[in-house]
Amino acid sequence: MTQLWGGAITAPSMKQTTNHLIKIAQLEYQKGHFMEASVSAKTAAQDSLSQKNFSDWLEAARILLLANNELDSLLEFEALLTPLQQFEKDSEGPTKASAQYLLAHYLLIKNSPEAETAIANSISTGASTQNLECLARSLALASFFYAREANKNLAKSVEYLDKLDIMIQELSLYDLSITSLIYRSFINGERNQFERAQELIWQAYEKAQHHGHQLALPTILAQIARLQKQQNRNDLFQMYSELALRGVSAQRHPRLYRQISEFCSYYSGKPVSAFDFVLDESQSLLRERDKGYIDFRNQHILLELAILFLKNPGMRYSKEDLIEIIWKQAYDPDIHDNLIYVSIKRLRLLMEPNSESPKYILRDRKGYYLNAQTQIQVKTREEHKV
């Protein structure tokens, strides 16, 4: 089964704060602007730590973790791991619970064998220190942990959801109420209780719409599509899976785009492509073996870069070459070095199944190049005319 949620709990806000950068990061995350949220949260974390405002630092770190996870790159959050681990050891009370929750969430995202113990510790500390929000979010992590395929124990997942729902009523955490409804719909679907599963997922849809929680809608639509497929309603499956994909962008929402694409491919039963990439140059369409169609909307420079690499695998391009070929300018390191770095980073987010460990767009002392072992099918404009 293709897992959709990847350990991420949709959560726009965990605490009230006067830090304007944290408020901005929270809003950017809720709207699905993950790159912007990551930048804001990183800056807020640095500022809060320098001021020894540990409560704000933990909240900024939490938003950074969520945003980094959605961008399929945890490097910026991992830069905070050492101080976070030390803080967890040295602190007491509610802030210790917050640190433990963050570490547990990180380990769950990384599929670490230590995740189960870390989640249990986070639940225990949240309860004993009366950090009720951390307790609620830790219960959500536990429910997810036991619902996913690798650790499947649906009865235990429901047990944690029951406890979570009590906390939701006490704290009015609408974002976790959406999460709970999605998980319950999934579990009921696994038990072939489709009527109840559909009732729950439509409740989640209405809540997400009511609260303007756009980030949750693609996952909800994908779950609706799953339920249609489980009942052999193939036309409705196709419709809802396409709606789910339309709600995400490969560039701005790489994790959701990848996982929903994989989900749609898994349930549609389409054969795996023999090629790593299929490029239809006439239609400006690019499909990667695992990620599916890559969304280059309004990203003309990145599309040109992709086509350059794909049509010339193994060819090295220096920074001077790229600026002259793509941007039609004379290379100036003061102007163009950062532009090239950012563009290659964004291209990898689009094209690589794992941008932290690129296998397609590589670099050596001679320049950037596409791995010569990449299997590519190119349909040119000339072929399309024929």
Per-residue pLDDT of the chain (386 residues; tens, 9 = 90+): 344 544 444 454 455 667 899 999 998 988 888 999 999 999 999 999 999 999 999 999 999 999 999 998 899 999 999 999 999 999 999 999 999 999 999 999 999 999 999 999 999 999 999 999 999 999 999 999 999 877 789 999 999 999 999 999 888 888 899 999 999 999 999 999 999 999 999 999 999 999 888 778 999 999 999 999 999 988 788 888 878 887 887 777 888 888 887 777 666 655 445 578 888 877 778 888 878 788 787 789 999 999 999 999 999 999 999 999 999 999 999 999 999 999 999 999 999 988 888 999 999 999 999 999 898 888 765 444 43
Q: Which two tokens stand for residue 248?
A: 């995400």
Q: At what angle do helices 94-109 and 115-128 cross, to 10 degrees?
A: 160
Q: Find all residues with CB under 8 Å of 149, minimum gap 6, and list them.
A: 1, 3
Q: Which two tokens stand for residue 243?
A: 């709606």
The span from the CA of 64 to the CA of 76, in Å, is 8
Q: What is the pLDDT of residue 243?
A: 84
**In contact, 370 and 313? CB cutoff 8 Å:** yes
Q: Do 356 and 259 share a structural domain? A: no
Q: What is the amino acid identity at position 336?
A: H
Q: What is the pLDDT of residue 380?
A: 65
- Give the end of a domain, one of 270, 301, 331: 270
Q: Do 350 and 282 share a structural domain? A: yes
**In contact, 83 and 57? CB cutoff 8 Å:** no
Strand partners, 278: 287, 377
Q: Is 120 inside a domain boundary?
A: no
- Give the end of a domain, one of 270, 298, 323: 270
Q: Residue 345 sits in a domain of what CATH number?
A: 1.10.10.10
Q: Do 281 and 252 share a structural domain? A: no
**In contact, 30 and 215? CB cutoff 8 Å:** yes
Candidates 303, 333, 311, 307; CA nearest to 320 is: 333
Which range of residues forms the domain containing residue 266? Answer: 188-270
The span from the CA of 118 to the CA of 106, in Å, is 10
Q: Do 373 and 338 share a structural domain? A: yes
Burial of 231 (C-beta count, 10 Å sphere; 0-12/13-18/19+): middle
Q: What is the pLDDT of residue 102?
A: 97
Q: Do 316 and 262 share a structural domain? A: no
Burial of 146 (C-beta count, 10 Å sphere; 0-12/13-18/19+): buried
Q: Do 356 and 286 share a structural domain? A: yes
Helix boundaries (H) for the chain:
20-30, 34-50, 54-70, 75-78, 81-90, 94-109, 115-128, 132-147, 154-171, 174-190, 194-210, 217-230, 234-246, 254-268, 300-310, 319-322, 333-351, 381-385
User: CA 42 → CA 48, 67, 76, 96, distances in Å?
Assistant: 10, 10, 8, 21
Q: Do 295 and 214 share a structural domain? A: no
Candidates 282, 308, 313, 280; CA nearest to 294 is: 280
Q: Do 248 and 206 share a structural domain? A: yes
Candidates 255, 356, 285, 278; CA nearest to 2 is: 255
Q: Which two tokens stand for residue 365?
A: 């002392």
The span from the CA of 65 to the CA of 67, in Å, is 6
Q: What is the pLDDT of residue 386?
A: 35
Q: Which two tokens stand for residue 353?
A: 């199944």
The span from the CA of 353 to the CA of 349, in Å, is 8
Q: Is 201 inside a domain boundary?
A: yes
Q: Is 92 inside a domain boundary?
A: no
Instruction: Give the chain's domain count.
Output: 2
Residue for token pair 């389409």 = 270
Q: Is 54 inside a domain boundary?
A: no
